[in-house]
Amino acid sequence: MLQVYLTNIVHIFESQPLILFFVIILLSVFFADITTVLLTSFIVETKQDPFLLYSAVFISIYIVDLSLYLIGKKTATIRSSIQLPALKSMYALYLARFIPGLRFLSFVNAGRSGLSIYTFSINVTLSSFTWNGSLILLTDFVMNPLLLSPLY
């Protein structure tokens, strides 16, 4: 049901790339992985230019991740009954993207721990490209298993 609903939204704005760019940003904020998979199937079906559409997905994911980090930064001075160990490991931050439910805790904790925004941004960007790139390639392969055609 959700897939049909999201696919219909994307098809409505198919002929208006700039509006589609912002629609994809909004969808990605709420349904990041589902949007990436549906967007790939949409690109394969309609032969749209993937650069603008995937850029919208990555921008929205980065905005959400940065927001979680900034929430942690702002709440660093608030005493909490839950004491989490300081998250300053690049590998832990990178792997948090791949474990469901861990992203929220890890990114907020990274802000609370005083991790530099530069280190945070590099790790989040690399993990986003790895994770979403995997989703894109897997979806493209499933839609074109024998052809192995490129996305465009």
Residues 74-115 have pLDDT tens digits of 887 766 555 555 555 677 788 888 877 778 788 888 888 888
Residue 95 phi/psi, 5-degree rounding, is -70, -20
Tally Cβ neighbours within 10 Å of residue 4.
9
Which residues, 6 or more positions from 10, have their beta carbon under 8 angstroms from its beta carbon? 20, 23, 24, 27, 38, 39, 42
Report whether 76 contacts 111 (CB < 8 A): yes
In angstroms, the Cα distances linking 99 to 17, 40, 63, 103 are: 32, 22, 19, 7
Report whether 56 contacts 21 (CB < 8 A): yes
Q: What percent of the chain is predicted at pLDDT more than 90?
A: 0
Using 50, 70 and 90 to split pLDDT, how confident is the model at 149? Answer: low
pTM: 0.69
